[in-house]
Structure 1
Amino acid sequence: MKIAVIGSTHAGTAAVTNMANMYPEAQITVYERNDNVSFLSCGLALYVGGVVEDPQGLFYSSPEELQKLGVTIRMQHDVKDIDAETKTIYAENLVTGAQLTDSYDKLVITTGSWPVTPPIEGIDLENILLAKNYNQANTIIERAEHAEKVTVVGAGYIGVELVEAFEKSGKEVTLIDGADRILNKYLDEAFTSIVEEDFENRGITLAMNETVQRFEGSGSQVGRVITNSGSYETDLVIMCVGFRPNTDLVRGIVDTLDNGAIIVNEYMQTSHPDIFAAGDCCAVTYNPTGKHAYIPLATNAVRMGTLVARNIMEPVMPHGGTQGTSGLHIYDYNMASTGLTETSAQLLDIHVKSFTIEETHRPAFMPTAENVKLKVTIDPETRKILGAQVLSKADVTQSINTMSVCIQAGMTIDQLAYVDFFFQPHFNQPWDFLNKAGLEAQQDYNRTPALV
């Protein structure tokens, strides 16, 4: 059995490692454009900010480790074309320019994603950088050393993490986003307003509801960002406006969503029976809606990559879908979300009802007790839980992993009210705040319905 794998970050490394262990007789060949594998891009801002001092900790494998498993590694090789009928791939050695042809029995596409780069006037000026891989992280660190004013375009997770890193290192920071608030894909306004106030108190300039019109510079160096309603001097710009699936190679070969994300079945199989796919290049079943969605997260990628290995010989282990569960630590705040927010539900034209709990995370007799804000979103007809968000200076983010399980299991808000959670004054209240969300829902409905 010859297995070819294109790309080796989260999903690719998980697939290759598991396949090598499960099928020692298989001939596995990996094609990777970069000079490294398995970079944890979710740690990029920590590396830029100096929290991670040894960047090798951001790699959980290496070409050498994969080779020890008997895998053939072709680093800095770019696959240019695939012939799915003859099961042939055509690649180029990016160092020597040599052309290579190879065959496969099974093909695994784990080509990941790439930062969106809008066609903005002046975007080719120096010191306008992307934030995705290890080499880009090193460039950001190098250029930031000589920059006093830094502009981050895009207020998602990576964008706000970089804002924190630059502000802590003494930079004058501006954050620009076309949405009306930061982190709008993950949290509702009641949560993001708290983080925004904290940013502004730290001297960070928030330019929300603004889109970049052009970049201006002196010579080849960027010096100013012009938006639809403002102008900002800058020495360095980091573009963090989102990611797109890196799937140009397979367009027309396998089925995709409109944005190019590869559609796979529950066994990670594409529309072509001998081609599998996993990770940021794929769509995944989003459990709150039951439909395919593009949710590029490392957690999704490693699960999907592992399932490729489990199912590549025969379908045995289905994917359970995702809630898009994620968490973030910014300054003093810990926040996490799973499933639908009211904002995302409105965009999807889904009618939901929400319940918000605010209380201290442990009893008042304890020396310290931090405020916790929890919001749970449900289907008002079935009362099933569809989403949850939490924010606190205490680290209560694991509660959102619990809520993710509730969504995946199809639990109702009524069942949540009486789930058995422990009580210990160091950690929580006699009634856990998750229970209280369920109790609040029952009081709101002014009835005690039968459990579904």
Structure 2
Amino acid sequence: MKVSIVGCTHAGTFSAMNILKEHPDWEVSVFERNDNLSFLSCGIALWVSDRVSDPNKMFYASPDALTQMGAHMYMQHDVTDIDFDNKKLIVKNLVSGENFEQDYDKLVITTGSAPIIPKIPGIDSSRVMLCKNWTNANELKENANNIKSAIVIGAGYIGAELAEGYATLGKETTLIDALPNVLSKNLDPNMSAIAEKDYKDNGVTLGMNEKVISFEETDHSVIVKTDKSSYEADIAVMCVGFRPNTNMFADKFKTLPNGALIVDKYMHTSMKDVFSAGDAASVHYNPTNDDQYIPLATNSVRQGILVGKNIEKDTMAYMGTQASSAVELFGRTYAASGLTKVHADVLNKRVAEVSMEDNYRPEFMLSTTPVLMNLVWDPETRVVLGGALTSKYDVSQSANLLSLAIQKNVTIDELSMVDFLFQPNFDKPVNYVSALAGAAVEKANSMNEVTE
């Protein structure tokens, strides 16, 4: 069996490893434009701000490692066209310029994503940079010591981390986003407000609810003009999101509106013998029970594993995702899984919500730390649909707990009675997540009493 894999970051890497693990005698060919694979781009901001021990450890696999497993690696090779009817790839060697054909029996499309680059006047300036791949990472790291100021455009996780990184380096930092709040797509306003205060307390200028309309390069800086103001710095970094890298062939498949290939629970696309995974593909979003585009490395890894499991026959189904995530900004953890109330409102999905704050461990300890928490649930079924936490205490693993609760359709009543451990070093007799669920139960019951 001949398998061709187009693209090799996370989904492609795990597809190759698991296909070879399941079928060591198959001929697996991997085509990748770059000279590297498996780069953990989520570590760029940490590396730029001197919080990475060794940048080489930001790669968990290599072309040589996959070759040793039996893969035929075509690094710095670009697939320029695909003849799906005759099962052939048209490939260009980016080093020699040579073009050749490669046939396949099964195809895996893991072409990943590309940064969104809006058509804004002046965006081609050399002082306007990107934050996506290893090349971008090196460029940002190289100039980090030479710049005195930076403007970060996009206040999602990547932009938020990069702005925090520049601030910790003592750079004059500005963070701009067209949405009203920092991390608007990840957190509700009560938590965004905390993040925004921390940015301001650390000298970061915020331009929320501002749309960038132009860039103007000077001899020594770049001027970023928005619909409300103007900012100047040594560089600007675009972090406004990603799109699936499927333009070449998306019209041949069933896709989401943005071009992401729709895959079923076994990673099949709408075309026979063609699989997809990672940022090129859709994911099944459990809180809303539909297909969405959520480009996260965790989704890519799991889908890549499933390609290997199902490449011959359907054996393991995708369990879906809750888009669980976390970030640390200025020593504070933000962790979330599933829907926020704001996101639910955008989707016109009726939900109930509760928010509360509680110390993570007893007040008789020499120290404790408050945790602000939100919980979202279905008012009809009482099933948990989402939650978020923030604290100076590391609450990141609680998002994983909420993720499992959402995936297993746990109700707020059940979550409030889970057998959590108690030990004063770690938590209270009523664990803070259990207390949050208990508050949800009380609110849900009072809501029912009002409607009866």
Tell me the TM-score normalized by structure 1: 0.97
* Contact 2:150–2:173, Cα closer than 8 Å, also in 1: yes
* Contact 1:125–1:222, Cα closer than 8 Å, also in 2: no
Matched, 1:227 2:226: yes
Give me the identity figure in percent.
45
Query: Structure 1, residues 222-246: CA drift from partner, whole Å, max 9, x if none?
Result: 5211111111111101000000001
Deviation at residue 434 of structure 1 after TM alignment: 1.6
Structure 1 distance, partners of 2:358, 2:43, is 31
1:93 corresponds to: 93
2:113 corresponds to: 113
Which amino acid counterpart does residue 61 of structure 1 have in structure 2? A
Deviation at residue 293 of structure 1 after TM alignment: 0.4
Structure 2 distance, partners of 1:58, 1:260, is 29
Matched, 1:385 2:364: no
1:335 corresponds to: 334
Q: The residue matched to 1:249 in structure 2 has which SS?
A: coil
Q: The residue matched to 1:47 in structure 2 has which SS?
A: helix
Deviation at residue 344 of structure 1 after TM alignment: 0.2
Deviation at residue 147 of structure 1 after TM alignment: 1.4
Structure 1 distance, partners of 2:373, 2:253, is 41
Matches for 1:185-224 after TM superposition, within 5 Å: 185-218=185-218, 222-224=221-223
1:69 corresponds to: 69
Structure 1 distance, partners of 2:166, 2:447, is 51
Deviation at residue 439 of structure 1 after TM alignment: 1.8
Deviation at residue 275 of structure 1 after TM alignment: 0.3
* Contact 1:372–1:392, Cα closer than 8 Å, also in 2: yes
Tell me the TM-score normalized by structure 2: 0.97
Deviation at residue 139 of structure 1 after TM alignment: 0.6
2:45 corresponds to: 45
2:443 corresponds to: 444
Matched, 1:282 2:287: no
Q: The residue matched to 1:270 in structure 2 has which SS?
A: coil
Which amino acid counterpart does residue 116 of structure 1 have in structure 2? I
Deviation at residue 158 of structure 1 after TM alignment: 0.7
User: Aligned residues, how many?
Assistant: 448
Structure 2 distance, partners of 1:21, 1:408, is 28
Which amino acid counterpart does residue 294 of structure 1 have in structure 2? Y
Matches for 1:148-167 after TM superposition, within 5 Å: 148-167=148-167
Structure 1 distance, partners of 2:231, 2:438, is 49
Structure 1 distance, partners of 2:34, 2:101, is 19
Which amino acid counterpart does residue 28 of structure 1 have in structure 2? V
1:298 corresponds to: 297
Matches for 1:310-325 after TM superposition, within 5 Å: 310-325=309-324
Matches for 1:349-428 after TM superposition, within 5 Å: 349-428=348-427
Deviation at residue 49 of structure 1 after TM alignment: 1.2
Q: The residue matched to 1:430 in structure 2 has which SS?
A: coil
Deviation at residue 445 of structure 1 after TM alignment: 3.7
Structure 2 distance, partners of 1:275, 1:144, is 42
Structure 2 distance, partners of 1:405, 1:223, is 45
Deviation at residue 249 of structure 1 after TM alignment: 2.4
Query: Structure 1, residues 209-261: CA drift from partner, whole Å, max 9, x if none?
Result: 11111111125x65211111111111101000000001112222221111011
User: Which ranges in structure 2 are unaligned for 5 or more consecutive residues?
Assistant: none
Query: Structure 1, residues 59-108: CA drift from partner, whole Å, max 9, x if none?
Result: 00000101101111000001011111110000101111100100000100
Query: Structure 1, residues 400-441: CA drift from partner, whole Å, max 9, x if none?
Result: 111111111011111111111110111111001121122222
* Contact 1:152–1:239, Cα closer than 8 Å, also in 2: yes
Structure 1 distance, partners of 2:250, 2:437, is 46
Which amino acid counterpart does residue 306 of structure 1 have in structure 2? I
Structure 2 distance, partners of 1:63, 1:340, is 38
Structure 2 distance, partners of 1:448, 1:202, is 41
* Contact 1:144–1:236, Cα closer than 8 Å, also in 2: no
Structure 2 distance, partners of 1:291, 1:448, is 28
Q: The residue matched to 2:438 in structure 1 has which SS?
A: helix
Q: The residue matched to 1:29 in structure 2 has which SS?
A: strand
Structure 2 distance, partners of 1:116, 1:430, is 47
Which amino acid counterpart does residue 246 of structure 1 have in structure 2? N
* Contact 2:250–2:260, Cα closer than 8 Å, also in 1: no
Structure 2 distance, partners of 1:396, 1:435, is 14
Higher mean displacement: 247-256 or 184-193: 247-256
Which amino acid counterpart does residue 10 of structure 1 have in structure 2? H
